[in-house]
Amino acid sequence: MKIAIRYQSRGGNTRAVAEVMAKELGLKAESIDKPLDGKVDVLFLGGGVYKFDIDPKLKEYLEKLDPKQINQIVAFTTTGWMKTALNKISEYAKKAGIKVNENKLYLRMMLQGHGMIGREGGHLTDEQVAKIKKFASDVLKG
């Protein structure tokens, strides 16, 4: 089974989550700037919420994905309160004709990494790391 992990991250939170998943699965997490290398069975794809939507670069990435190249997407997000990113990733993937796995990871990060208040992102608690690892391995088992 070929698996890839891609993320869009402004403050570092989603990147940190992607890197934990990658380590757990023995992979390398890459920014959405890095194209997929061939066909993948599972694409873990993450991003955050910005003004009640996903980042325009992530939206464009999803719109350009080839459904023949990806069997399914597993969405993940880091955000304060809203699960909007999960819904939007799913919505755009389905519009592109790509199956979306029912398992999704919503990791509440509050304002960590929020540029307006100057907090650096990407610092995960032991509990968050454990949740990410369990999520990644459970998706592949299921």
How much is the pTM?
Answer: 0.89
% of the chain exceeding 70 in pLDDT:
89
Averaged pLDDT, 85-113: 86
Cα–Cα distance for residue pair 89/95, rounded to 1 Å: 10
Of residues 50 and 89, the one with the higher pLDDT is 89
For residue range 103-133, list pLDDT tens digits in order.
Answer: 999 988 755 544 444 455 677 889 999 999 9
Q: What is the DSSP string of 32-75?
A: TTSPP-S-EEEEEEEE--BTTB--HHHHHHHHH--TTTEEEEEE
